[in-house]
A and B are shown apart, each in its own frame.
Chain A
Amino acid sequence: MIQTFSWDHVIFLLRGATWTLSLSIISFLVGGAVALLLAPLRVLGPSPVRASISGYVQIVQATPLLIVVFLAFYGLSFLNIHLPPLFAAGISLSIYSSAFLIEIWRGCIQAIGRPQWEAGDALALSLVQQLRYIILPQAFRIAIPPTVGFMVQVVKNTSVVALIGFVELTRAGQLLNNITFQPFAVFLTVAAIYFCVCFPLSLTSKYLSWRINVAHR
């Protein structure tokens, strides 16, 4: 039976949106944790470590997210690793986020000038102390705006897992489109919900980077 797009359907979409948000938070936290470990190693580690982290980043960034999701969901089940959709989605999105966050944070660490390291050396700080007290606090400050900006991508990327049937916001929209045949109403609402989540993040990122630029002027 064809239904008309109504308030109840908006509620259904909002319920999908909570999954979008949960997935975004999971993949940002897990991806962020991995990147937090790997980004300093990417800059300071011994050269084989640096090369392999760089290789990991290059390969993930050259693969479509959709294929990473498919590999985690369909591919691994053949290795007798059966992941429920939530795990497959979470893992693949985390891998994807980690690759981009490593690059972003590497840039932030490298943006801190050599003299800062040398000053730490002159004060007889150990490498770990230099990182802990001099480099990372400064890198952290400039890392905030691009990281907030990247959260927008994380939220938008979760839409891809709709294609393995994970019912988040986009998949909820697809399902509603199938029973209401009102694609305009359905997908405009879906787009509006994404926009309400992403736009404030974009604005925050823009404001934060503006503030840092002003401080440096």
Chain B
Amino acid sequence: MAYEMQFQPVLNYAPDLIDGTVTTLVLASQSIALGVILGGLGAIGRTEGPSWLSIAISTYVEVFRNTPLLVQLFLVFFALPMIGLQVPVMVAAVLAMALNLGAYATEIIRAGIVAIPKAQIEAGLSLGLSRFQIIRHIIFIPALMIIYPALTSQLTLTLLGTSIASAISAAELSSAASVIESKTFRSLETYITIALIYISLTFMFRFLYWIIGKILFHRKVVTSKNVVEDPLLTGAGA
């Protein structure tokens, strides 16, 4: 018996889909903002800080990069209340995702900082550039340009990683999918719809990164990653 696809029952739940999408976007953007800040601090601490700090940060990085996001999510969500910290689902989700992204971002941003040769800073000094000008034109922008492909693909992975948050019942897109699926019994159509939404979100974010890169660098932007250069920089998947 042939199966007939019917998307109408799924589309009847459009408000749930929209709510889920909005929650996913909120979750992703908060995690990305926090995670990148964390990564920036981590990278500076690791390259400039005292050795105890650098060891502490690299331990954090290795621990979070070598365990699954889902387990980190469970630890934050189930274990924090045990030590008396009762956090709402969304906070736990953002916290876990930001810590996860922070670990990857630390390594990525550190690679960018290390890649700027000291001689370039000295060249800037000898041209009479101010401290701020040196940080902006010689360190920040070129370093960001080097790491941009790796960083943006990691951010995309964070966006997709938010789907895992449905496991601790955060009401984002994937959990909306489960709800709709259990109401309509149209699993295939539900998950195809959800997949399409995620794909459009991803392309939207990639476009956004491209625009930001265009504004920051004033030249050709590469947003696809070149994994060969450093395989460990980006982590694929959950």
Contacts and interface: CB of A to CB of B under 8 A. Distances in A.
Contacts of B164: 64, 66, 160, 163
Interface bracket on A:
35 or more
Interface string B182-196: 000011100110110
Given A78-B3, A183-B82, A202-B62, A71 B195 contact: yes
Contact of A71 (B166, B191, B231): B191
B231 A70 contact: no
A175 interface: no
A36 to B, nearest CB: 16
A187 B160 contact: no
Interface in B68-86: 68-72, 74-75, 78-79, 82-83
Contacts of A138: none
A40 to B, nearest CB: 16
Contact of B231 (A177, A183, A205): A205
A15 B167 CA distance: 22
A54 to B, nearest CB: 10
Given A75-B187, A107-B226, A187-B75, A62 B198 contact: yes
Contact of A162 (B62, B70, B163, B226): B70
Given A75-B188, A187-B78, A209 B163 contact: no
A100 B231 CA distance: 12
Interface string A153-195: 1001101101100000010011001000001100110110011
Interface in B150-200: 156, 160-164, 166-167, 174, 177, 181, 186-188, 191-192, 194-195, 198-199
Interface stretch (A45-53, A82-90, A122-130, A143-151): A143-151
A76 interface: yes
Nearest to B63: A195
Nearest to B153: A61
Interface of A: 59, 61-68, 70-71, 74-80, 96, 100, 103-104, 107-108, 111, 142, 145-150, 152-153, 156-157, 159-160, 162-163, 170, 173-174, 177, 183-184, 187-188, 190-191, 194-195, 198-199, 202, 205-206, 209
Given A62-B202, A198-B65, 5 more contacts: A64-B162, A184-B79, A184-B82, A188-B79, A198-B67
9 contacts: A64-B160, A64-B164, A78-B186, A142-B228, A157-B68, A160-B70, A183-B78, A205-B232, A209-B232
